[in-house]
Structure 1
């Protein structure tokens, strides 16, 4: 950009755009100082740096009178430009190279440990051969082999007597002496091994530390990229980041709509875990995403566009076929079938959340009892599920300990 002189201040150049209610004007740094000296009501954060605005439309928009969430989004979008992302990627490249080098060191470390193990094993074997006079034992077999193919009962019997006495000597006094000797040998060798390996696998520990750093960086990097999903992020404590995106993508794809936001309408830790509190929050609402955590620690749930009506006492049909059950634990989604679309959800104030005819998922009003017969209205044939009755919750009854419900708002 060519520098343009300020007509008010000689030697200064126009750097900013000041947007006012009545007019918009170009100003220089001297103009800014004058405004500050005059104590005029000027929001300097709203000044638009011309040079930057010419390169970044998101920066320009962020300075205008937009809703706070859009301003935050545009500021974040402007912050992570090609240069900053390339620096992050370069940092990843360095971390990966460090991990690769450490992996080589870990292999050498393991190779050394294996060698030392075999050396100590040989030491134990040598000591064992001494205390049991192993050469004598091998001699018994050698004597038998000298007989060849001939049958000599007297020679075999003599050998057996000698062998018997040999074994009796080893296990005399109920093997007390043998046990004590073995204990002394093993303790001595273990102590020697401990002295040589005061810090075992240091390179492996370094590798674990590097993996933890890398994982942390990857999560931060993904969070930065997630600003593109800022308006559609599910603020769930039960769902993982990748699975949040998968659910969002599934809902958007099935309904062919853009998700604007998720409104939390029910939280068991706040509202209580009962059928009464459940219906007080969901009655008359549609497009609900429900997330459950069972006593077994399984995370699962369901989405349906259907309207939840407390006094309906009947099934609700989903002609869009966009209803589905899901399991984060198994990383699976179970879509509503064509044949099951008339039984997408079941509304009855005596029940809790219920999906499918024959109850693909039925959670009672106490959120403990219920059942899951996955495969009736919701498809499970694409997965090999042996115990489908416990597949979702990890047990024969749901035993829900946490529940989150969000209403999906579309643009």
Structure 2
């Protein structure tokens, strides 16, 4: 891109974009230093490097106030290029020269994996360009260059207004629409890739016992190049009930409500392993907080709830001042937040019962994990959805009849 001089500072050029809710501004290095001195909490991470953004839509997208998990994904994606991948492969190639021909097949699998990452990156980049209308962003640079020697403050300000409108449209509704488009896109790419160890490296098992040092090297490499799909790697979930897209919605809901980043989900209870009973339940959950509970009914419905409140023997109703408690239905693809008027009744904690959410018992499971009821809509909001039959909506039947239950303690950074 042609260098455009800054009108405020001699011998300085417009290299960056500072954008926020109110405006978008082209700035130079001196402008950037002045802003840093002027504002104690100046947000460097939101500054867009123009040349880098023109070459890398993932750099541009990482500066737009996305959810924490999506922003982390694109920050990581920006690090992967031919040089990085080739460097990793050369390290492997050096080690391969010291071992037998049995490892040649393994090398080809690793090479294919690296090519797959780069190929996926290109596909994601192509889709990103469509989603964020990247051609419009590029046009701003073209328009700026076309000003040529006739550059003036009025022309720059007009360009900046149009640029600001572009960012406003892209990030409208706090990036909710953009976040969802990116989650849907990444979910499609996730389904295309085979993430299991055995599927990626069928030849590797043949030499595992003979080359333990190589296994350690390969595992390190695999961890290094495995991208964090919207936080899935750092927020490990080992269960079988929740889908990838549902997990991302739960992660985004918890992180946005509590303003914390999730590190992982630690399983503390599994009904099929520990027993579907009130005693088994309380043996695992007593004195624990930040619990995510997932239920599968015998009719096949999958639902659950999260609350930061601590589950303790005989405490009765517990208040959630953070309003971060919520229920969800994966079957219906819906989330039901706690009503502010009912924050004092987020959960009911008593060892004579199983898990209970809400004052009117939006979820009420007895000690047998088969009986009682659901009265969705009492303490948790469901009136934003139409055609809800409150008593059967979550479990698909009038009584819970739980076939499986997973409970995780959410661990934060």
Bigger Rg over Cα: 1
* TM-score, structure 2 normalization: 0.49
